[in-house]
Every structure is written in structure tokens, then in C-alpha cells.
Amino acid sequence: MEPNYPLHLPDFYIGDPAPAYRDLRRNSPVHWTDANGGFWGITRYEDVKFIGSRPHLFSSAKGVLMPDGKPKPAEPRPMLITTDPPRHNALRKLISKGFTPRHINAMEPDVREIVRGVLDSAKAGVELEYAEGIVAKVPVRIIADLLGAPAEDWEQFRAWSDASVGSADPGITLTSQEAFGALTTYFRRLIELREQRRANDLISILMDAEVDGESLSHDELMSFLHLLLVAGNETTRNLIALGTIALINHPEQLRMLVEDPSLIPSAVEEMLRYVSPVTHMTRWATEDVELRGRTIRKGQAVVLLYGAANRDEDVFGDTAEQFDITRRPNPHLAFGTGEHACMGLSLARLEARVFFEELLARFDRVELTGEVLRMRSTMVPGVRTMHVRLGANEKAAVR
């Protein structure tokens, strides 16, 4: 019998999807789900890579979220992430030059200062809220800074960003529509300021940018700004929060990391693989395609389940389901694959590395003191709140 899993529901991703993924990889790697108009779920590493690298056969233009059963707007907003080649590549080069490892590494002092500022508020030995109160502040400040928004607006940014991705979450009162409107108004104001005077920020770069001799349309500019804010925020927060939980659940690895901080970059890669902060992206078949004996029909949605691919025993061997901060090589697909692969990956890696360096220099023990509340999202089911107690790292030199 065909396995049956609720791949369309947030609860599936919030629980432990690993056993279901294992079953699907083995017994139904190209798996049809009827819900929400129907979609294919892809769980094997090789297949996710195959589809991700064929944008002509599997398009992003109809959106990257899995079908949610709601009617689609006739004219979706133009966005980098939903643009197919050849225009995609031209658009992407405009901003990717601001995201190369060289440029991003130059941001390390700023990132460290932001992380230190946030961690300064964390006290050892008392219960504190970690996800909202500490982790979430880091990416939102860095993105807002990158975009050129003044520091006093950073917290407001986070509220809007939360609301625009986690619209299924009852804890969020703004609808995603309202949050989008608020952001649009705000970005319009920033653009007006830059019209008078350019600055050394991403908005200014985008305003001067041209594709085939034409500058970006106002809509394109807006959606770029919106995408960067949303794409860089929840994702990084989710990586750090769920990565911390992985360390809590594997105390021997936490110990290893405290004793040898040079393992932090490889620990971050393993967190990316093990956590897979973005559960999926979607593609749409542009013609009928045969895959592992199933026929994907033209127009059908194909959901690439990165978390499943990242536990594929064919690639990660018989330790695929284990958390191992020394894993090497670690060719995970947490940042996606193909020409849409995450543009912010160097920034996300930098943020996570600096965060754990600074955290573990101050605290060498972390324990959960209560329940972990998750975001009710199928794509980025992050941590909403988690209470922890941190133990001071007595051995570390006092700064």
C-alpha cells in the first residue's frame, strides 16, 4: 500500500518527520499527495538535485511554497525567487555581487558586534527566553542594516517579517497581507530618501542596477527588498534555535564544541543538514516527465523536501540519521540546489558561526527549562519561544 502522510500540514514538519521521510525515500520516493489540489513530494537526494538543476523542465514561476489550497493571484508579483531563466540569472547577478564570500566576510566585525550586543543581555543561571529574546534579534538587525534601514526601526521589521511568513500561526495578529502592506509603505519611504541621496547600502545598489539596459521596475525593486528581509530572517533564526536544541540533545557534542571551537564551522554545516531550516521549495512541471516510474504531468507541483534529501543514506551513509558535528564531507542541500540556491548562504554561515563562537565563549552549558513552541508553518517551522538556563563558561577568559 502507498504510504500516507500529511505532507501539507505544519504539524507534520513540527513533529519528527524523519521516520516518514525514511519510509518515503525507500517506498515512494516520488510521492503523490491529494490534499490542496495535489502535489508530488520528492525525498531522495539525487532526485532533488535532478529537479533543482532543470529550471526549464521544473519552473519556479508559479511560486515556491507548496500548494495551500488557496486560489493563486492571476498575476503573481515578480520576484527573484519566482523568476525563470534567462532573466533570473541577470537579476541575480545584480545583487549576488554584494553577497560573495569576500564581501560577506568583510562584515564579520559588524556581525560580531551585533551578536555581542544581543548576548550582553543574557545572564547565566536564570531562566530566559532564547528564541525571540536572543536569537531572533541577530538576523533581523543584520538584514535591516544591510538594506540600509535605521536601527530604531529594526524591531518593527521583525514583527512584519514574522507575520509575512508565519501567517498560519495563531500567535501572530497581523495577517501576511497587512504585514506586506506595512513593509511596502516603509520601503517606499526608504527609496524616497535614497532618491535624494544614495548611500552605501543594498537599496542604492538596486536603484542603480540595470538589466538589459533597463532599470528595475518599482515592483521588482519592492519585491527584492521584501524577499531579502523574509528570506534572511526566519531561516537563520530557525537554524540557530533548532541547532541549539540539537546540541542540548547531544551533550557529548556540545562538550566537544566547547573544548574545541575550531569545530564550529563544521558544526554549523551539520546543523544545516540535520535541522534543514527550510523544509521545502516547490517547482512546477513544464511538460510531462517520467521519474522513478511515475509520470509527473505538465502543470503539476513538485515539492523538494530538503530535510528528507539531507538524511539520504545513499549519500550520508549509515550515520545519515545521526547528528555528528565532525561530519565531512557534508554536501547537504539545506540551501537548495541549482541556480536558485540560496544567495545569502555565506551570510547565514557567518551569522551562525559568530553566534556560536560568542555564545560558547560565555556559556558552556545550555538546558531547556520548559516547552518549545514552534511556528505553524510548512516551509520554515521555526522556534517561536523556548526557555533555557545558561551556565557560565568559567574557563573562558573574561573579556
Partner 1 sequence: MRIVLDRAKCTGIGICESLAPTVFEVDDRGELVVLAAEVPEGALDEVTEAVEGCPAMALRLEP
Q: Which residues bind partner 1 (CB under 8 A)?
A: 53, 85-86, 89, 92-94, 96-97, 99-102, 105, 331, 335-339, 341-343, 345-346
Question: What is the closest distance, in whole angstroms, from the C-beta atom of residue 4 to ligand HEM in the complex?
Answer: 26
Question: What is the closest distance, in whole angstroms, from the C-beta atom of residue 225 to ligand HEM in the complex?
Answer: 11
CA 194 to the chain's CA centroid: 29
Query: Which residue of this chain has its Cβ atom nearest to ligand HEM in the complex?
Result: 344
Is-contact 32 398, C-beta < 8 A? Answer: no
d(CA 335, CA 344): 9
Nearer to ligand HEM, 207 or 396 (CB): 207
Nearer to partner 1, 166 or 344 (CB): 344
Question: What is the closest distance, in whole angstroms, from the C-beta atom of residue 127 to ligand HEM in the complex?
Answer: 27
d(CA 352, CA 334): 14
167 binds, among ligand HEM, partner 1, none (CB under 5 to 8 A by kind): none
Interface residues with ligand HEM (CB under 6 A)? Answer: 60, 64, 80-81, 92, 143, 227-228, 231-232, 235-236, 239, 277-278, 281, 334-336, 340-344, 347-348
346 binds, among partner 1, ligand HEM, none (CB under 5 to 8 A by kind): partner 1
DSSP letter at 190 equals H
Sign of CA dihedral 97, 336, 379, 104: negative
Write down the H helix ranges in 136-263.
137-147, 154-165, 176-196, 202-208, 218-249, 251-259
Nearer to partner 1, 291 or 345 (CB): 345
Question: What is the closest distance, in whole angstroms, from the C-beta atom of residue 116 to ligand HEM in the complex?
Answer: 19
Question: What is the closest distance, in whole angstroms, from the C-beta atom of residue 53 to partner 1 in the complex?
Answer: 5
Nearer to ligand HEM, 111 or 366 (CB): 111
Sign of CA dihedral 12, 79, 137, 118: positive
Q: Report CA dihedral (301, 306, 310, 315) to the nearest 10 degrees.
A: 40
**Which residues partner with 366 through β-bridges?**
390
